[in-house]
Structures are given as C-alpha cells and as structure tokens.
Amino acid sequence: MTPLERNLKLTIAYDGTGYHGWQIQPNLPTVQAKINQAATVITGEAVSVIGAGRTDTGVHATGQVANFVTDSQMPITTVQKALNANLPPDIAILDVEEVSADFHARFSAIRRRYKYTILNRFPCPFRRHTAFFVPKPICLQKSQAICNALLGQRNFVSFQKTGSNRPRPVCHIFDASLQKENDVIIFRIEADAFLRGMVRTIVGTILAVHHLPDPAGEIQRIIAAQDRSTAGTSVPAKGLTLTAVEYPSQP
C-alpha cells in the first residue's frame, strides 16, 4: 500500500436468493460483483473487494466481512452511505471501518459462524426463501447429541461437497447447537473454517440419523469413514446464513 491508500473493512448483510453466490462468475449476478460496481462508482477506481467467505448460490448473510484498498479519502460514514445508495435493496453495508494494511477479510479470520433455519410444522410463505420446511418431528435431544459429537478438530471430508479437493480438509468446530422456538429450529455452528457444502451436509445428516438408537455414534462413524457417500443429503441453500466472522483483535 502507498501512504495515501486506505484499507476499508465492510460488514455486509444480503439476501442471497437472487444471486449465484458471493464470488464473481461470468455473466451471472453475484454479491461480490454488485459491491465491486458500487465501490468503483463512489471511488472512481477499479475496486475488487475480498470476502471472508464464498457463500454459495442462495445462501444469505447477516455478518459477511470484506475489505478493499482505495486512494479515496472520503469519510467513513460517507463511504457507507454512498455504497448503500449504489447497491440494490437486497444488499446492505452495515458498517465500514478503516483497518491496518495487513488486514485480509479471508486470511485474517479465525472463526466463522453460520446458522441454518428449519420450519418444523407448517410451511410459511414469508419464509420460503430463508428456511427449509421439514414436516416430520425432529428430536432435539438426539440432535444435540450429534452436535456434541461434532466438536473438536477433525477431518470433515465426509461432509465436503463432491468435486471439492481441499488439500487439508481439517476443521476445528468450537460450537454446534440446536434451539427451537415455536415451529422454528435454528442450527448454529462455529468453526475456524468450513469445507464447501459442509454446513448443509451436516444438517442433512442430522435429519437423516437423529431418529437412530445411537445417532452420536453414527456421526462418529461417518466422520471416521472420510467418505461423502456415508453422510446425508445436503439440505437446500436457502436456510443457510453466514452470521459472523471473527478476527484475532480489533484490526
């Protein structure tokens, strides 16, 4: 970075229904492309924002983080207002901060948090883009036992999307839990990193095995198998939301 350049950190929320994920793809609408366009307009520079997580098609966010470098000396509050004025209503910049030159939205992150929303009684037209409808009862006690069995540092390749070839498919899951309020069940998970499709496959596996006599033991066997075919079917993207990204200290 030159002495005049600034590194700006964005906290972003978006409804991913109309987008082919975060990352730019040729001739397809993506969240990254929309923010690049808005930042380029307000700064007069060719901007390329770096995202903390490459959310898939249809996945939402309430706490995505990105950063970009600019020569613009525009005040932070003005940057936020100007970006929002140039973005569609399904994307919002919640916060803008000036951060150190070495801050990188993806590589500086130490933890990421996701939630998955399930409707567990009746479908709801107002949640059709943000929740997965499951009509059969879900046993929370057995499902939580599965969550507990996921904790720790493991090779989670059994939950990785087929065709992904991450060199080291090891993640550390710090927390996993389910909570129910009325007809809504929320699965929350926090880890240092996630494999592609990992959260949606974990949820699908919970739905597939929670009724078994020893669901925690079954999930352990699936992890040990290191084979995607042993896990459950991936649930739809619409129920998944990236809720937060954590960094070692205030950048």
Q: For residue 69, what are the β-bridge partners? A: 7
Q: What is the dihedral of CA 69, 72, 78, 79, to 10 degrees?
A: -20
Task: Check if the beta carbon of residue 21 is closer than 8 Å to that of residue 31.
Answer: yes
Q: Which two tokens stand for residue 100?
A: 């150190």
Strands 111-119 and 132-133, by their bridges, are: parallel
Give the residue numbers marked as catalytic.
Answer: 56
Q: What is the CA radius of gyration of the chain?
A: 19
Please tell me the distance from the alpha carbon of residue 91 to that of residue 86, in angstroms, as a whole number.
Answer: 10
Convert 200-238 to b/e letters by CB count within 10 Å (16 or more is b): bbbbbbbbebbeeeebbebbeebbeeeebeebbebbebb
| 42 membership: H or E segment, kind and range | helix 31-43
Of 93, 89, 2, 1, residue with least CA distance to 39: 93
- Let me know how many helices (H) and strands (E) the chain has, helices first: 5, 10
Convert 97-125 to b/e letters by CB count within 10 Å (16 or more is b): bebeeebebeebbebbbbbbbbbbeeeee
